[in-house]
Structure 1
Amino acid sequence: MNLLAAAIAAALSMTLAASPAHALQSAITKNIGASTDDQGAKDRNIQQVTVRGAPDAYDPRRDDTASKIVVSHDEIVKYGDTSVLDVLKRVPGVTVSGSGGRGSEVQMRGLGGGYTQILINGEKAPPGFTLDTLSPDLIERIEVLRAASAEFSTQSIAGTINIVLKKTVKAGQRELKIGYLHAYDAKGPNANLQLADKTGRLAWSVTANVTRERFSRTVENVEEHVDPAGIQDGRRVGKLPQDGRVTRLNLSPRLVWSLENDNALVSQTFVTTGHFQNNVHTLVDTELGPPPDYPDLEQTMSNDNKLLREELNWTHKYASGAKLDAKLSATAGSAANTMYRNAAGSPAAGGLHELVQSDNNVRGVTILGKITTASWEGHALAFGWDGGYMRSHDARRVRDADQPDVSLPEGDELYTANVARLAVYSQDEWNVTPQWSVYLGARWEGIQTRVEGNTFADAANRSRVFSPLFQTLYKLPNTKGDQLRFALSRTYRAPTVQSLIPHRFTSANNSQTNPDSIGNPDLRPELALGVEGGWEHYWSEGALVSVSASARNIDNSTRNQTVFDGNRWVSLPINTGRARARGIELEAKLPLKALIDTATALALRGSLSRNWSSVDTIPGPNNRLLNQTPLSATLGADYNLGASTIGGSFVFKKGGEVRVSDVQVTYESVRRDLDLYLLSKLNATTQLRVVASNLLGQDFIYASSYTVAGSGTQRSRTLYPSWPMLRATLEMKF
């Protein structure tokens, strides 16, 4: 408690960065201050015009001291995506791992492994939630925070992506979208309904989205083994035909009560439910060497998940000008996973007729609050807290498929995880001069995780991190739009519950390149010290060029490594020492009218990110952080033809080898995505959106290798096929 008290006292004694509202007030003040002081009446006219125009001119990307990119709702729905993952792959500085499908990971600065923090309405996404289940139509905006902010958790070594669900209520809104996607390997309909209205002091809105998709494809795998002399002594060719379906339903009702004195009470509910099923038939042809345990394996996997999240948000304004923003949220979720395994097996392994059931139930509550005041001229002070408790119950049962009600010896695993956390912070944005603003502050955050199970000893893990933060923005004098940014921050990443639990998920054909997986209760949190700076140039509405560079040292860096436990191959997370990461990012938005005198409504955009990293304890070359994207780029264009708008985007993501350990190497192929869209307004209330995505139809390849001294090297190469997709959506207002 002494440590907590000291942290709170330190946080209260420091100051940190504030809200967009203060940045807007600052922008207005600066614009007014820029007006001349010649004649009274003339000054009043100039000031009146400036104040009216300032709200429209306010740009959080340009004017906030805290560096951020804001993606508006119009940009989010432009390509008619059914998954927010497809939206994020086009955002500058953001990449999506793998082929962008189920289980893909969102990355900033090319850093994978959970270094990027994902928030929903400013809170961490609940356990079991995946972004591919979230419809873009539910989102009001996406905030990409490159540097840590005290208001949010500092578990953001690479950065933070805050997804803000729809808050705007439009009186009389009635919108319906009906769409259909078709590709060689997938097809299915989707629909979205939005209703909103106001009655007196009460405003309400409801957004509902449903998606159904069928897919069918064949994954190909090749396994090879070479002896220490380099002579091939094993080769297996596998075909994995898959057939499955996905159904998702999202519902987000919102109620807003406008109270007296500009106070408000808001209720926002988010409900999502989904069903996923995939039938995989693994057929392995052994051309050289011994066959696997199960060369003919049929697996039927299904997942049913439900999530309910309720938020109550109360804002209260005091006569002094201070404001209290308090929020209470509760989460309840469940996931039921079922897998049937059937195989004849090789003579050494025998048959397999197995049922694996995994159930998860989560309950959690979060209390957040922030008090802001602008009682000191030029300052926007804030103090806040963020506390929560989450409890999850998990059960994993392995049974004979013919006798699912009969327990097998050591076949049932049960465990409970409890996570308690508390954070306090203070923050201030200080307008030192009209051109220079400073963002200072600190956040103390503590997390305690305890896991109890029937097949392992109780495990406990604690992390306590104090994060001082600093950002500054300097607008160069005597220039139209040049400004410099600098940030210094201490961030961290605590181990997830799943990475701590020491229970095993087994693979049917266990090998170096297809191991079991298990958690590690001895994991320590990763701590990072980061610095970054940048130059930005704005010269007309929507036109910008920016260059930024960053560097981070990460202690206790964590990566999954494969080891042999004496009986089977197992993959587990391990702290591997200090890592160093560096990066350079370039971005440009160029409306044609900003370059030449023209009425042509053509807008160009592009970005380029180059990233490097190394881990001290891993020998080179290619000893970078796992899943790091060394190079990524985006190019895009939009052309307004009046009643129609056309555009496209090209996303490039470099892959390559990564050395996981001195004996283990992984590889991912280059990714190229080309998407085109057409938006045609048929009449005042109806428009048609047609999108052609993944036009290059590039396959995704993942490979790995593992070398055992005196035995040789095992290699695995898996190809995931991909085809172009066409999607049409009819959007109607009624």
Structure 2
Amino acid sequence: MIRKYCFVWGVVLFLFGMPQVTAQRGSITITGKVVDQANGTPIEFATVLVGDPTNEKPIVGTTTIEDGSFTLETKATDFYIEISFIGFTTKRIDGAKAVDGRIDVGRVVLGEDAQQLNEVVVEGEISQTVFKLDKRVFNVGADLSSTGASALEVLNNVPSVNVNIEGQVSLRGSSGVQMLINGKPSVIANEQGNALGTLTADMIERIEVITNPSAKYDAEGTSGIINIVLKKEEKRGLNGAVTLNTGAPNNHSVGLSLNRRTEKFNLFSQLGFGRRTFPSDNESENRNLVENTAINSIGESDKNETFFNLILGTDYHIDEYNVLTLSGNFAYEWEKENSDAVFSTYDPGNTITDAFKRRELTEATNPKYSYELQYKKDFEGHEDQSLLISATGNLFAKDQSSDFINTTTVGDGEDEQQRTRTDFSQADYTFKVDYTHPWAEKYTVETGAQYQINDVGNDFAVSDFDGVGFEENPDLTNVFEWTQKVLGVYTTAAYEDDAWGLKLGVRFEDTDVNTLLQTNDVRGNKRYNNFFPSGHTSYKINDDLSLQAGYSKRIFRPRMWDLNPFFNIRNNYNIRTGNPDLQPEYTDSYEITSIYKVGKVSMNLGVYYRHTEDVVERVVVFEDNVSVSQPQNIGTNNTTGIEFNAKYIPAKWISFTNDFNFGHFERAGSFEGTSFDFTGEQWSTRLIGKIKLPADIDIELTGNYISGYRTYQEEISENLFMDFGARKKILKGKAILNLSVRDVFASRIRESITDQPDYYLRNFSQRGRFVTFGISFGFGKGEAMEFSGQKRF
């Protein structure tokens, strides 16, 4: 009963607040820190309440933050303090005396309650998103429709984030996003390698969205940072969970997490293996409006992925203040894609003059390795003082071959055969040191440095069949090498009291980029350095209303595929290529956010403004019915936006969550003497409804709408789609049955239209509906993936 009582009150206090007892200035301030008795680690989201001893009713309460600390105020003169967290014994402090209006309870140590752990039943639900000073934390567990999903599919349920059907991640409508794994760059997060597909939802603990990062973070990513934090349990003994998923089209996977905690060691692992199929319908149209001729293609593809992912690591607690962590990740993908498309040529009378069927068979293997060595030192007598040193390495390779066969169906054209070969390798190394030093309780200084090396090579060859054998085409074959080295140094200073906080910082980065077209011996070098200032402030008006404001300067550095001038020949009429002369783009980002609660509604309303110089955007050149798309730096962009998030719980059995984002942008600039000044809007919204049914059954419906928008030349079509999820607990919650249907009505598309005076282009693709059924079972002190919204100890 105590556990249930404390948990329910914790949810009430955390989500809805208690406006009738809002703290005021001049009251008694109570502070402290809650830690785990087993290993001394902070306990986040522990409930701290002040109660009336005469009737045992709460007066005011709060929850601990990430470092386990808490601060609350009360005007009561006779009270007790109670600290609790699910799975732990509750502690009560009576008769605490204030000195100069303050009570410091110090370190409050909570020990595990074995009986509670054996009989845990979740009665409440934590919100999916937690707001902090410079970031928002999305707890993956609360997302019912992520059953069997990859990290990309999970990301599509995160507020402010959208992922199109091609896997491109955008934040507030901008694709300039820096993806991190556990706070560091990783090959797993490389958008070109599709490695995020090897991470499944049950491997992810939380996703942090940082729209305005401080100077402590890498300046890369003009729209912000998305950090995927993987699970690493630390419960004593042997614990774990196993998941099994199956679905249609092919979506079969098995996952196993294991953790063993001793006094000195914490051994953790994640293992995943599966197979997925991504069918796609594709259409394209190239129309010459001057000669009134056209080339159309209609086809379908079937991409099959078999993947394996293994994460292994250990924490070695040298002593109470020193921890050494060694972890590694190995992932491997086997890809096989079959596609068929019919290309038809039309004359001015709209009569087919030529047609051929193009068949493609692509096979590839993608090994990925990553490793990290990390040392963390805490300091005796200074709980928040720490030194963190880390070294990470990421290696990714792709060995790919494709065979293309053109068979003439109309006209007298000759049949053709082509073959491509790709030998790709990427190595990323990051060395980092961070030091945090607090003093005088309210001040904190952070400083550190980072050195990052990216070394990429792409050996690409195209061969034509001459009737006897295949001969390499020298015009389409080359080796491209790209090396980038970035040295960053930062310092931040922060002041924070009970109501107001301020954090200022500056980061300096020196960038050295070298490119080489090996076959042509064309070399390029760019060297530049920049200062990136940042500022964040927050003010807590009361327990129900907080204000935040932030500024940061960001950079988008062109990547290998933005610079490489060679292209894939999958569609010889629509070519995407890179630009070796591309320059970085810079963004100044400002935002003001309010977080407030009114009754049963918790809301977040933000206003933001971004000014971007040297905007990178693809420009299409059309000639002989062939379109060539290449990125260019073309002017400036000013975006003003409003973002709104809200959660409403009218009753215990139902809740609604809404995310809304609207952005108005103004473009200015010119390309090759042609002005492209224009204005436009883009908006998106997501509505999630959760219903609790009898027999421990929960269902979730998610509706998504993404408006159409324009770029320099293109019009991107709107999207409206819905996801469905259902869950049932069995075996007293130790096992969970899950059902998810993504894109219920098969209405999610990717369509772009380029309508220019001399030509018209249309590209369309659609993947369709995915249905997945899964079961998860926890053993030891591990838990089934029950999507509770937070990790419980």
Quote the Cα distance in structure 2 between the aligned partners of 1:65 and 1:274: 38
RMSD: 3.5
Post-superposition shift, 1:379? 1.0
Residue identity in the other structure for 1:412: T
Q: Secondary structure at the match of 1:85?
A: helix
Q: Does the residue aligned with 1:132 lie in a helix, a strand or coil?
A: helix
Shift of 1:667: 2.7
User: 1:96-111, aligned counterparts within 5 Å?
Assistant: 96-97=163-164, 99=165, 103-111=166-174
Inter-partner Cα distance in structure 2 for 1:63 and 1:215: 35
Check whether the contact 1:338–1:357 (CA below 8 A) recurs between aligned residues: yes
Stretch of structure 1 that moved more, 422-431 or 121-130: 121-130
Corresponding residue to 1:637 among 653, 673, 689: 689
Q: Distance in 2 between matches of 1:168 and 1:270?
A: 16
For 1:721 and 1:64, the matched residues in 2 are separated by 36
Bigger CA drift: 292-301 or 605-614? 292-301
Which residue of structure 2 lines up, in the alignment, with residue 603 of structure 1? 655
Does residue 774 of structure 2 align to residue 729 of structure 1? yes
Q: Deviations over 1:188-242 (max 9, x none)?
A: 31111111112341111211111212354543445544448xxxx3355533132
- Among candidates 305, 312, 323, match of residue 386 of structure 2: 323
| 2:501 aligned residue | 437
The answer to whether the 8 A contact 1:224-1:236 is kept is yes
Change (3 A) 1:118 1:294: farther
Pairwise CA distance, 1:257? 0.8
Match of 1:551 among 591, 603, 609: 609
1:528-543 aligned within 5 A? 528-538=587-597
Which shows bigger deviation, 436-445 or 235-244?
Answer: 235-244
**Distance in 2, Cα, partners of 1:119 & 1:331:** 12
The answer as to whether partners of 2:259 and 2:268 remain within 8 angstroms in 1 is: yes
Matched, 1:584 2:667: no
- Residue 25 of structure 1: how far off its partner (Å): 8.9
**Residue 30 of structure 1: SS of its match in structure 2?**
strand
- 1:502 pairs, out of 556, 565, 580, with 565
Which deviates further from its counterpart, 350-359 or 315-324? Answer: 315-324
Which of residues 394, 397, 400 is equivalent to 1:334?
A: 397
Separation in structure 2 between the aligned mates of residue 677 and residue 277 of structure 1, nearest angstrom: 32
Cα distance, 1:51 vs. partner?
7.4
The normalised TM-score by structure 1 is 0.84
Of 402, 418, 427, 2:492 maps to 427
Q: Partner of 2:71 in structure 1? A: 30
Quick one: which amino acid aligns to residue 267 of structure 1?
Answer: L
- Tell me, in whole angstroms, the C-alpha distance in 1 between the residues paired with 2:402 and 2:324: 45
- Aligned-residue identity in percent: 18
CA separation of 1:693 and 1:38: change in aligned 2, threshold 3 A? closer
SS of match in other structure, 1:592:
strand
- 8 Å CA contact 2:593–2:605 kept in 1: the answer is yes
Structure-2 separation of matches of 1:273 and 1:408? 31
1:62-92 CA deviation, whole Å, 9 max, x = no partner? 77432x2112242256631421222122222
Aligned residue type for 1:563: V
Q: 1:198 aligns with which of 261, 264, 271?
A: 261
Structure 1 residues 317, 133: closer, same or farther in 2, change over 3 A?
A: same
Q: Distance in 2 between matches of 1:308 and 1:154?
A: 25
State whether structure 2 residue 349 is matched by structure 1 residue 303: no
Report the Cα distance in structure 2 between the residues aligned to 1:489 and 1:430, rounded to whole angstroms. 18
Q: Evaluate the alpha carbon distance shift between residue 409 and residue 607 of structure 1 in structure 2; reply closer, same or farther with a 3 A threshold.
A: closer
- 2:452 matched to 1:398? no
CA distance in 1, matches of 2:157, 2:103: 40
Correspondence list, 1:450-465, <5 A: 450-453=514-517, 454-455=519-520, 457-465=522-530
Q: Which has the higher strand share?
A: 2
Give unpaired runs (5+ residues) of structure 2: 1-41, 45-63, 81-93, 112-125, 780-793
Shift of 1:295: 2.6
Q: Is the 8 A contact 2:145 2:739 kept in 1?
A: no
Asked whether the 8 Å contact 2:643–2:662 carries over to 1, the reply is: yes
CA 1:641–1:716 in structure 2 vs 1: closer, same or farther (change >3 Å)? closer
Give the equivalent residue in structure 1 for 2:544. 481
Q: CA deviation at 1:610?
A: 0.9
Shift of 1:484: 0.9
Q: CA contact under 8 A between 2:287 and 2:625: conserved in structure 1?
A: no
Question: How far is 1:586 from its partner?
Answer: 0.8
Shift in Å at residue 164 of structure 1?
1.0
Is 1:65 matched with 2:133? yes
Task: In structure 2, give the amino acid aligned to 1:672.
Answer: F
Partner of 1:219: 282
Distance change >3 Å, CA 700–CA 395, structure 1 → 2: same
Q: Which residue of 2 aligns with 1:10?
A: none
Q: How many residues align?
A: 676
1:613 is displaced (CA, Å) by 1.2
1:172: which partner in 2? Answer: 238
Does residue 250 in structure 1 map to residue 317 in structure 2?
Answer: no
Give the secondary structure class of the aligned counterpart of 2:218.
Answer: coil
- Pick which of 402-411 and 357-366 moved more: 402-411
Using the TM superposition, give the Cα deviation of residue 632 of structure 1 relative to its aligned residue in structure 2, in angstroms: 1.0
- 8 Å CA contact retained: 2:257, 2:269: yes
Using the TM superposition, give the Cα deviation of residue 30 of structure 1 relative to its aligned residue in structure 2, in angstroms. Answer: 3.4
Deviation at 1:34, TM superposition (A): 5.0
Distance 2:611 2:427 in 1: 35
Matches within 5 A, 1:20-59: 24=65, 28=69, 30-31=71-72, 42-44=95-97, 47=103
The answer (yes or no) to whether the contact 2:427–2:454 under 8 Å persists in 1 is yes
Residue aligning to 1:259: 318
**Partner in structure 2 of residue 17 of structure 1:** none
The Cα of 1:309 is off from its aligned counterpart by 0.4
Could you tell me which residue of structure 2 aligns to residue 687 of structure 1?
A: 736
Residues 366-425 of structure 1: CA deviation (Å, up to 9, x unaligned):
111111111243112111111121222220111235877754444531132211111111
More off after superposition, 528-537 vs 699-708:
699-708
1:468 aligns with 2:560: no
Deviations, residues 236-266 of structure 1 (Å, cap 9, x unaligned): 5533132331111111112111111321111
Query: What residue is the counterpart of 2:631 in the other structure?
Result: 573
Residue 631 of structure 1 and its aligned partner are, at CA, apart by 1.3
CA 269–363 in structure 1, closer or farther in 2 if over 3 Å, else same: same
- 8 Å CA contact 1:150, 1:426 repeated in 2: yes
Matched, 1:648 2:700: yes
Contact 2:700 2:724 in 1 (8 A): yes
Q: Which amino acid aligns with 2:508?
A: W
What letter is aligned with 2:324? Answer: L
Secondary structure, aligned partner of 2:522: coil
Aligned match of 1:704: 753
2:719: which partner in 1? 670
